[in-house]
Structure 1
Amino acid sequence: MAPQNAEATVGSLLRRYRLAAGLSQQELAAGAAVSVRTIRDIEHERVDAPRAPSLRRLAEALGLAAFDRDRLLAALPGPRPEPDAGRPLRVEVLGPLSVRTGPAAVDLGPAPQRDLLALLALQPGRVVSRDEIVDVLWGDQPPKTCLSMVQTYVGRLRGRLDPDREPRSPGKVIRLAGDGYAIDLDTDELDLAQFQELVERGTAEPDPAAAVDLLDRALRCWRGPVLAGASPRLRSHPAAVAAARRRVRAALAYADLAADLGLHEAAVARLQELAPDEPLHEGVAAKLMVALSGSGERAAALSLFAEVSRRLADELGVEPSAELRDTHLRILRQEQVVRRADPRPRQLPAAVPGFTGRATQLERLDALLPSARTGPGTAVVISAIDGTAGVGKTALAVHWAHRVADRFPDGQLYVNLRGFDPAGPVPPDEAVRGFLDALHVPAQRMPVGLDAQAALYRSLLAGRRMLVVLDNARDADQVRPLLPGSPGCLVIVTSRDQLAGLVAAEGAHPVPLDLLDPDEAVRLLARRLGADRVAAEPEALAELVRACAGLPLALVIVAARAATRPGLSLAALAAELGQARGGLDAFSGADPATDVRAVFSWSYRSLSEPAARLFRLLGLHPGPDLATAAAASLAGVPPAQVRPLLAELARARLLAEQAPERYAFHDLLRAYAAELAARANPPQERQAALHRLLDHYLHTAYAADERLNPHRDQITRTPAQPGVTVDGVGDQRQALAWFAAEHATLLAVVEHTATAGCDSHTWQLAWALTTYLDRQGHWHDWAGVQDLALTAARRLGHRPDEADAHRGLARAYARVGRFVDAHVNYWRALDVFGEIGDWLGEANTHRNLAFMCGSQGHQRDALYHASKALDLYRAGGHRVGEANALNNVGWYHAQNGEYREALEHCEQALALLREIDHRPGVAATLDSIGYAHHHLGNQREAVASFGRALEMFRVAGDRSHEAGTLTRLGDAHHAAGDRERARRAWRQALVLLEELDQPEADEVRGKLAGLPPPA
């Protein structure tokens, strides 16, 4: 039997697909060439091994259906089907067009017939309309018999590609579909498909060495420019341009990985193959310069810069880009040329001021350096510093790390694992992702799952000399995924746990840390208070040291108290301390707890009453740190009143100001503050303070989301309580900065609301975080938050919120490539929206499904869902939704090559959008209309539509859409034969795309490179 969860998923998805397509079981069985019984068994989750081949054929037949075909096939028993060995066909378009059956070359006939095959092969599996074929083969002057000629060409090609087929039987390679034709080729039959598969595998591969090999194999599929020697119309077709762009991206990715692995000569070989085809691509030139320099050919690298600079000036009239100039400057200075703007992370916290003592421990740490310094050994060097809370583990680790940082030229990584934080420890996957971010791994290359992320992290550190500080670990299991895998790096781990497992299994060197001895404690106070003051009262000094029990945290607080009251004698301070004795249960061993609590309470009792109340309430905060506005909300006072109270706490060393207006506790002090709050503040007051804090985060996040996504449908929020401060986020930049600063805290707050039963806040906070987490690539966090939101909505019994949480979880799953799970949640959302009669929710869900299907290349499925959304918006009288959905339907018609249907829908959308004065929608629809006209050969109408859209985007300041419209405007000018206007539009688009750092810039560079030099 297939796995139970796979069966359920297969059955559910198959039912959804069949119903969505409007097919009966008989129709689906006939189309997939399987039995009706097989269909029924699958839908009822009765799938056994003997019928697995039928199910496999069904999955193949539904290859363009709206679910993850590869994952479906992977769940089936038995081996994957092998390609049909009876048809040794090979079609190659990555270079001059070439077709072979076995060892023999196939004569493809006249040039138009060859171009027809090439056009289909550029878009395997996609139906290419007759109109598009005619446009590519003959342009604006097709012969009157063009359609019959196309039929003739298809018939001849079928005979030559399928010589063994029966007379007058349908072709096995080229099939008729709708109003056009499609070619069906396996991966091993088409070099373009093989290239794409290898690139996808290489991009997802966490091991750099394996990724380099896969990308190298992908690049070897190319024999020259795509369809070299074919007609200009074919070589400028969007599919051909897209293939060339993918080649450039693969080459750049290969060059980066090869440089990291020191494979400079290999990078030179691959880039020199590409450079003649991309003579104006500055990214290719920069990577080739890096590879040449790394190979010892510095003169050749400098010569290449001069040549490319001249070419850019002569042909485009532009200066070299900043990347190219920076690479040139580094080579001139004989610096190491690296591909990252800041390749060496410097994450150590600030050095500890006035560090004192610990000579023995520092010597033990120094003794570890020779094995790290002498290069490759047998293992990573790990130091495990353990000791009780407040004993100074972090201070020792950071102090020593700064002392030896110059021994690790590739950088330093640091993370506070918060192993004993009341809010819970940092999960290993979150810590690994933080390190990968610091190592400049882009979001789109971030692997899914802890194992893959840890493997990529180890690969990136291989061969480097880096210092890694893992602070405040809970146990060895939290640490292991963060350990490098090869020698040369040194790891410092601090923990209250002795980490015996790390010592035993990973060979860590234990460095136990105990309380300071009396002499060290005296030196610490002397460093902070001054030798004269300490020498004047030796007996009082001894009493202070005894009361602090040698705990560095307590000594630092005492020193801070004494420093802020220089007129008070040390004897008076010791007397005050002796009056407050208790016990902190968190301590064990020699039990210095009584005196430590006395130190804390002594400092606490010295506070003003408002500051003392704030200190207690801060103990309720669930996150790692907080800003002034959050503290103000906890206290229920304006920020102007809370700032002096926070400053008072910081002076007393009961709070640390980590950054301007951002504060954090030591976890011992947090526990003490929470303990005081439980005793001194009634439950109603604590609950009200927490409610204000949650309202602060909810309403500020909501306001920030409005800046990031102003056109988003809004929700009804829980009203803010009196005393809540909402941070001002005046523009998009401020909104992004706020989210970035509060990222970890917001995740902790959402988790706290989920465990505390604050379900309304849970799903509303999850909703407000959606735009930020999505756009910044924090998709794993997004999925986790949406999962909590779904649980909260179910507990509340709010069906609309449950459906919306399913939809949000589906969007997050789609981002991390879990397409099966995404579809399941989308359809569950549709179920609930349907049950409660929420047609708007259904419409929005269909819109999301359309986008995901379109992004997967399933354009027919995308069109279906966009049409469903349109029907729902119309039925509900939602005119804005109807207007935008009309444009979406038109766009997906265009993506399917149905340009006349696209125009019909977009013209309706345009009339409605103008009637309701929806200007962003008008601009987007004009762009769609221009796109359809361009592909229909109506270049004058296309230029006019693009021009009007361009004006509106510029007025609105929408630079991203402006760049896209400029690109398409250049296409229309080029198709009309106006090369200079095309050049001008593409240049303007390129400037915007480079400023926005968009990957489409490569495509535009390719278009410019394909133009002849200006007259």
Structure 2
Amino acid sequence: MEFRVMGPVEVRRDDRVEVLSGRLQRILLGVLLARANQPVPVDVLTDALWGDRPDSRAAQKLQLHVHRLRGVLDSPERLTFGAAGYRLRAGQDEVDAVRFEALVKAASDQEPQRAIESLRAALALWRGNPFADVETPVLADWARRLTERRLAAVEALYEAELACGLHEAVLGELTELVREHPLRERLHGLLMTGLHRAGRRSDALEVYRRARQVLVAELGLEPGPELRELQRRILAEPEPTPESAPEPVPHRQEIPAQLPVDVRGFVGREAELAELEEVLSAGAPVVITTVAGTAGVGKTALAVHWAHRVRDRFPDGQLYVDLRGYGPDEPVAPADALAGFLRALGLDGAAIPDDLDERAARFRTLLDQRRILLLLDNARTVDQVRPLLPAGSSCRTLVTSRDSLAGLVARYGAHRIDLDRLPAADAAELLRELLGARADGEPEAVGALAERCARLPLALRIAAEIVRSRPGQAIRELAGELADHQDALDLLAADDDPHTAIRAVFSWSYQRLDPAVARLFRLLGVHHGHDVDTYALAAMAGTGLRETRRALDVLVRAHLVDQPSAGRYQPHDLLRAYAAELAGTTDDAPDRAAALTRLSDYYLVTASAAMDLVAPFETERRPKVASLDAESPVFDSYDTAFGWLDRERVNLLATPQHGEPDHVVKVSNTLWRYLHMGGYYDDAFALHTRALHAAQTLGDAAAEANARRVLAAATLRAGLIEETVDHLERALTLFVQVGDRSLEAATLNNLGVVTGRQGNQAEAAEYTRRALDLYEELGNHRLMASATLNYGRLLHILGRRDEAFALLEQSLAISRDSGDRTVEANTLCGMADICAEQGKPQQALGYAHLALNVAWQASHRPMECAAMRTIGVAHRHAGEHELAIRYLDSAAHTARSVGDTEQFIATLNELAAAHAAAGNLTEALRVYRETLSDKNGDRLLHERAQAHEGIGDAHAASGEHDLAAEHWQRALVLYRQLGLPQVDTVTVKLGGARG
């Protein structure tokens, strides 16, 4: 449920807007929201609705409007009446104005880059003037306050963006805002700052002159002290250049908060909660607790409820995973669970190790000395849990399972809590909590119903909803009706427990559904993913969104499906199994197959539309997909498209596991770039391997070639160089065979990258030149950006700077035209590197800061690292050693966090050189030796050669000429092996040392 007041007053349920009957109902809702969760007296409400017009029937009219408002709420109990008046219950995340305030407040405590994200999220909630369709004095103050807060948030956003060096990007918007709000001094100051940092000092001073003129004319006041001080500083400082930039902004590690929503109406379990508390508070070496019990007994509810009670004791965060040990789908593999945890702890996808043991070790390292609560839900075996356990005693782990997990107790000293069905009194109390006053008149019937439901919370909640939906029938009659169902159905046994009789409860609820709703429920059992949104279910059912939403509302109210987040649905695993069983006995196999085909088509078409925004330069390469006979979300930006792909990744990858070979190939071709950018290398390897086998099954040489091409990107990440080369060489042969010259060129370009990493620069240049020639022959200039960049980089390494720079300028123009932001940022870094080496540090800074802006906008962490490294190098060439060390240290930290070994080693070399230039020879030698000691850097011959040369330089500066000569000799061998021009420079150094 969402209440929206920042614009026209609206009530939204899932993805639809509920109809409010008129202006008075909108005023009523607005006044109740202004005092949400507090009683509002009747006279306040009647005054807001009818003002000074006396009306003896005002109270009755108010009751009518309240009744109508309850009709659009998800539960009538949200709006209650008491002695003090009417109270509307609304969570903090359900009112857009409250969420807006919370996001703005959070931004005030965040570093600039994170503040930008929070503030943009806050401002995205704004749809126009608050209460745009309501005019009443009661709400005027709140509307004015929100409008002022929005403007203050806009100012804070631009201040954060200026702090991140985005002055060029915001000048136009700031200029327009100053024109709209000429009396806000802070806006004038932000515009002056942006202009000054962009090298436009005279324009900045002109802004001050105009601001003073307006303030004096309109208010009779001089500018305030902050604006005057800013003018003084601008006058006192030398003319800045466009390359000037703020200090690097360190990335603040996010605190994971992954717990599911707390259970509503939690009843009982006091003994178990006390036992959990005792284990936590004792400070004993017991750091693992297991909650074991039969299906539907409430293990997850207990664990989640307790976790919310103690979350404040874990300031470093809470991690949660549903291991799906007993659902119809495959259990979550420990490697996949670890990948999710590592991402939540701030590790980028590219930095996540491939090996399970390495992932577990990295996880334990990140948890060391941190106070984190882990909730491992629905585990199947000890082997599934063991890799997810922390090593130290600072964390606490809570595991739920239908199994006793005796191995955890025996080996790790886990404390086990065996959870039985609710005691009779607690089961009846839960029903009374759910049924309200209606239960008071039939206490015996409530007890009988609780027993019929086997005192299982899941069954009790479903039964309670059915009782509530039939207000004219006595509870005892419904309990008897359920007894009849139980006699007619088998027991659904779990863990051989004869008391787990909940299939009857499911059936009792299911048989009351309309046919269309019942069919949608069965489709939830056919769907292969975990959770699902409205669009996918509508596509699967072949119905419209409105009809699907209505059916889902019924299923949610009946507790036959959960809604873990807005717009997403997920049945309990027992209910999913029941739905699958019904689908198998009710629906024909062709009907089920048709539903899955519609679902697969929906995911493929929508993913293709998302990728058109994420990677527009590859639209022509993606497989053509048929038009979709179903509604799908509309993506209006890169972020919304990428966000949808992230949300649906599991579902997108589930359909190829059950789809036809042709579908597997299309999904692989569509998603490969997204999986690579997101660092989902496990998923990429699995998907593209299936695509390769599917292509071979089809006998489709073109599909096999492309599967090998994209699979090579995953094997390269794993360090499997020989396997990568094999895939690319076979792909090249097949592309030539089928006559796909565009992808032949792309494969040649990729071979250039791989052979360059092997140290064979001449062969790499030959591959890349052939790719460029082929693109030129085809006249396909839009796809030339990457190959042009790679060729320019290779020429730069070979010492041909002028030729390299010209190629990079071409690459920059092509990438900007095609929208390839990765190549654009990479090219700008290459241009900056060349300028720095040519003694043009200010130009180098200009290009590098542009690259940093592009990387920030694209959320491309490896490119952020490359840009910061280049900025550091430029500062070193300019003699600004402190700034150089600061940027390079930040770049090294980022490179390590994203797992970019090549970038990390190269950055360490530059950091060591900066320390040496600053006279810190001891620190320089330490960093150089770290470069050489990194086991992952053994294959990076160029970087190792640079490290040996740098060590030699440092020893020579200390007068240790024999040691210097030893390392220069090692560098010379490597440079000769690579055929690089540094051979001449090092030879001269060696001659001087021996002379």
Q: Cα distance 1:711–1:620, how it changes in 2: closer, same or farther (>3 A)?
A: same
In the aligned structure 2, how far is the partner of 1:825 from the partner of 1:710?
26
| CA displacement 1:874-896 (0-9 Å, x = unmatched) | 78x56558966984685366245
State whether structure 2 residue 591 is matched by structure 1 residue 690: no
Which of 256, 261, 281 pairs up with 1:370?
281
| CA displacement 1:348-375 (0-9 Å, x = unmatched) | 111111111222322322221234x36x
Which of 440, 447, 451 pairs up with 1:546?
451
Which of 798, 806, 831 pairs up with 1:929?
806
Which of 747, 761, 777 pairs up with 2:679?
777
Task: Give 1:274-293 correspondences, 5 Å limit.
Answer: none
State whether structure 2 residue 264 is matched by structure 1 residue 353: yes
Which of 437, 440, 445 pairs up with 1:535?
440
Report deviation, 1:811.
1.3
1:770 maps to a residue whose letter is W
1:545 maps to a residue whose letter is A
Q: Cα distance 1:592–1:830, how it changes in 2: closer, same or farther (>3 A)?
A: same
- What's 1:437 paired with? 343
Which of 496, 503, 514 pairs up with 1:589?
496
In the aligned structure 1, how far is the partner of 2:561 from the partner of 2:238?
62
- What's 1:818 paired with? 720
Q: Cα distance 1:986–1:434, how it changes in 2: closer, same or farther (>3 A)?
A: closer
Q: Cα distance 1:985–1:539, how it changes in 2: closer, same or farther (>3 A)?
A: closer
In the aligned structure 2, how far is the partner of 1:833 from the partner of 1:962?
27
Task: Give 1:373-522 correspondences, 5 Å limit.
Answer: 373=283, 377=285, 381-522=287-428
State whether structure 2 residue 701 is matched by structure 1 residue 799: yes
Report deviation, 1:432.
0.6
In the aligned structure 2, how far is the partner of 1:714 from the partner of 1:883?
13
Mean Cα deviation higher: 884-893 or 437-446: 884-893
In the aligned structure 2, how far is the partner of 1:770 from the partner of 1:507?
44
| CA displacement 1:284-314 (0-9 Å, x = unmatched) | xxxxxxxxxxxxxxxxxxxxxxxxx99x977
Report deviation, 1:709.
1.5
2:588 maps to a residue whose letter is P
- 3-state secondary structure, aligned to 1:619: helix
- What's 2:508 paired with? 602
Report deviation, 1:702.
1.6
- What's 1:897 paired with? 798
- 3-state secondary structure, aligned to 2:520: helix
| CA displacement 1:641-697 (0-9 Å, x = unmatched) | 211111111111111112221111101101111111111111111111111111111
| CA displacement 1:939-993 (0-9 Å, x = unmatched) | xxxxxxx5x9878877777766666666666678778887776666666566555
In the aligned structure 1, how far is the partner of 2:719 from the partner of 2:835?
38
Runs (5+) with no aligned partner, structure 1:
1-279, 281-308, 325-338, 904-926, 932-945
Runs (5+) with no aligned partner, structure 2:
1-196, 198-232, 881-995
* Contact 2:245/2:849, CA 8 A, preserved across alignment: no
Q: Cα distance 1:735–1:959, how it changes in 2: closer, same or farther (>3 A)?
A: closer
State the number of aligned residues. Answer: 639
Q: Cα distance 1:315–1:493, how it changes in 2: closer, same or farther (>3 A)?
A: farther
State whether structure 2 residue 572 is matched by structure 1 residue 572: no
Task: Give 1:970-981 correspondences, 5 Å limit.
Answer: none
In the aligned structure 2, how far is the partner of 1:809 from the partner of 1:955?
28
| CA displacement 1:443-496 (0-9 Å, x = unmatched) | 343222110010011112122222111000111000000001122221111111
* Contact 2:409/2:416, CA 8 A, preserved across alignment: yes
Report deviation, 1:764.
1.3
Output the aligned Cα RMSD.
3.5
In the aligned structure 2, how far is the partner of 1:637 from the partner of 1:541?
39
Q: Cα distance 1:392–1:682, how it changes in 2: closer, same or farther (>3 A)?
A: same
In the aligned structure 2, how far is the partner of 1:954 from the partner of 1:830?
28
Task: Give 1:616-627 correspondences, 5 Å limit.
Answer: 616-627=522-533
In the superposition, the TM-score normalised over structure 1's length comes to 0.58
Percent pairwise identity: 39
- What's 1:736 paired with? 642
In the aligned structure 2, how far is the partner of 1:412 from the partner of 1:808?
36
Which of 858, 868, 879 pairs up with 1:1001?
868
Q: Cα distance 1:520–1:978, how it changes in 2: closer, same or farther (>3 A)?
A: closer
Which of 853, 856, 878 pairs up with 1:1011?
878
In the aligned structure 1, how far is the partner of 2:508 from the partner of 2:287?
42
* Contact 1:804/1:829, CA 8 A, preserved across alignment: yes
* Contact 2:781/2:814, CA 8 A, preserved across alignment: no
| CA displacement 1:227-248 (0-9 Å, x = unmatched) | xxxxxxxxxxxxxxxxxxxxxx
State whether structure 2 residue 656 is matched by structure 1 residue 759: no
* Contact 1:699/1:720, CA 8 A, preserved across alignment: yes
* Contact 1:860/1:896, CA 8 A, preserved across alignment: no
1:542 maps to a residue whose letter is G
Report deviation, 1:514.
1.6
* Contact 1:583/1:596, CA 8 A, preserved across alignment: no
In the aligned structure 1, how far is the partner of 2:503 from the partner of 2:426?
21
In the aligned structure 2, how far is the partner of 1:838 from the partner of 1:598?
60
In the superposition, the TM-score normalised over structure 2's length comes to 0.59
1:606 maps to a residue whose letter is R
| CA displacement 1:791-849 (0-9 Å, x = unmatched) | 22222222221222122211111122222221222223234445555555433322221
Report deviation, 1:748.
2.6
State whether structure 2 residue 740 is matched by structure 1 residue 842: no
State whether structure 2 residue 518 is matched by structure 1 residue 612: yes
In the aligned structure 1, how far is the partner of 2:622 from the partner of 2:836?
46
1:541 maps to a residue whose letter is V
| CA displacement 1:7-61 (0-9 Å, x = unmatched) | xxxxxxxxxxxxxxxxxxxxxxxxxxxxxxxxxxxxxxxxxxxxxxxxxxxxxxx
- 3-state secondary structure, aligned to 1:802: helix
| CA displacement 1:572-621 (0-9 Å, x = unmatched) | 3324323423125453434235x411211111122222111111112100
* Contact 2:327/2:574, CA 8 A, preserved across alignment: no
- 3-state secondary structure, aligned to 1:419: coil
- What's 2:152 paired with? none
State whether structure 2 residue 710 is matched by structure 1 residue 808: yes
- 3-state secondary structure, aligned to 2:354: coil
In the aligned structure 1, how far is the partner of 2:581 from the partner of 2:439?
33
Task: Give 1:14-25 correspondences, 5 Å limit.
Answer: none
